[in-house]
DNA sequence: CGCTTCTTTCACAAATTTGTGAAGTTAAGG
DNA sequence: CCTTAACTTCACAAATTTGTGAAAGAAGCG
């Protein structure tokens, strides 16, 4: 089990990583096929794969690839690009994928906040329940601004350590 | 639809909040019954409810309550306490529930990190794929320490604005 | 245009998840 | 101890989700 040297990639090793990382994503709530596709892209040297390549490596149908990619694109974890002069599409992981994913997370929090705000007014801001909801709401608003600042710090940190991949 | 004054709680209003907030949690990946139970607790004045109360308000079986509560307790979003001298159990939302939930989130990230570390060594730290995994790993490690600091800031912020409920 | 190559959509079978009633377990209070 | 109230576990039916093959839909290329 020594480190691969140079050009060769051990499909076994790749597959092992793909499946174990995907399993963790699934456990955290991601759909299985999306998780596997994402892990495969993440562990590819170029950071891009075609639909066919994904289907072959993961042993899944074109339909499954299509569904997985649609979801991943929707949450901005993968982008699609057309190979010039070809009907073949390439799917790519962003270097700032996590930034995108977190930004997307904010949209979800916004909807939570909306529901909470409604709850505060309808239950009454001065009732114990209303106060609890208000505090919860405040927490999310706090988190939102903190996350923004945090991502900016990451951008800086990353540039220092990894250059601008 | 004016603000409720004093003692009365409008079950319709409570239920509306419970269902709409729960729906958002479900959309973010939480199981339906757990989401509903959590929302019900969150919007109760005392912050606690018994199994029977939950079953009645949400129109679900004792078995469903049991399952939902088991999950919520596991992820530290709810705690169980025995009413002294009774076989009745009370379920309670913590005031620092979100702190707990996020701490729990860290456990998940740790497992992601483990999978990534293995990937880096097995694919080779100097391969393009290995470098991408390493950067991803660095991001999670960064997030972890930032989250810790953020929660400490929230603790302070909260105390200033809400006292130590 | 029409052929060819990819991708997406659709209907369906298989697998999984969900919530229930009923039986089982635990513990308080006689 | 025995009764009984409360919670949990279990087996199952219903509902939902998942992934596929097949058909339909785009888009390059001649």
Per-residue pLDDT of A43-67, as tens digits, reads: 999 999 999 999 999 999 999 999 9
Chain B nearest C-alpha distance from A16 (Å): 8
- Mean pLDDT, all residues of chain B: 91
Query: For the residues A105-133, what does the mean pLDDT come to?
Result: 95
Q: How far is the CA of B58 from the C1' of C15 (A)?
A: 29
Query: For the residues A133-153, what does the mean pLDDT come to?
Result: 94
Closest to B3 (Cβ–Cβ): which among A124, A146, A157? A124
- Given an 8 Å threshold on Cβ–Cβ distance, is A122 in contact with B43? no
Does the pLDDT of residue B142 top 90, yes or no?
A: yes
Check residue B121 and give its pLDDT: 98
- Given an 8 Å threshold on Cβ–Cβ distance, is A128 in contact with B43? no
> B156-163: which pairs have CB atoms within 8 A and are 24 or more residues apart?
B157/A142, B158/A135, B158/A138, B158/A139, B161/A138, B162/A131, B162/A135, B162/A138
What distance in Å separates the CA atoms of residue B14 and residue B25, rounded to the nearest whole number? 16
Burial string for A30-48 (b: 16+ CB within 10 Å, else e) reads beebbbbbbbbbbbbeebb
Does the pLDDT of residue A80 top 70, yes or no?
A: yes
Closest to A13 (Cβ–Cβ): which among B123, B146, B153? B123
Q: Which residues of B touch A20 (CB under 8 A)?
A: 115, 118
Contact yes or no for B34/B72 (Cβ under 8 A): yes
Q: Which residue has the tokens 């009370």?
A: B90
What distance in Å separates the CA atoms of residue A30 and residue A141, rounded to the nearest whole number? 25
- Given an 8 Å threshold on Cβ–Cβ distance, is B5 in contact with A43? no
Check residue A4 and give its pLDDT: 53
Check residue B111 and give its pLDDT: 95
Chain B nearest C-alpha distance from A60 (Å): 22
Check residue B3 and give its pLDDT: 54
């Amino acid at each position: 089990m020594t480190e691969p040297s140079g050009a060769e990639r051990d499909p076994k090793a790749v597959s092992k990583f793909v499946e174990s990382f995907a399993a963790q994503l699934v456990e955290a709530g991601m759909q299985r096929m999306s998780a596997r596709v994402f892990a495969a892209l993440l562990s590819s040297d170029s950071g891009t794969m075609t639909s066919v390549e994904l289907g072959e490596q993961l042993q899944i149908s074109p339909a499954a690839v299509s569904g997985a990619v649609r979801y991943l694109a929707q949450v901005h974890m993968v982008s699609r690009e057309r190979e010039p002069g070809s009907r073949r599409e390439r799917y790519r992981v962003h270097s700032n994928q996590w930034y995108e994913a977190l930004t997307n997370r904010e949209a979800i929090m916004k909807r939570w906040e909306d529901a909470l705000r409604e709850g505060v007014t309808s239950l009454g801001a001065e009732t114990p329940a209303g106060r609890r909801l208000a505090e919860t709401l405040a927490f999310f608003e706090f988190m939102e601004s903190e996350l923004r600042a945090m991502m900016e710090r990451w951008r800086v940190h990353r540039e220092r350590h990894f250059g601008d991949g």
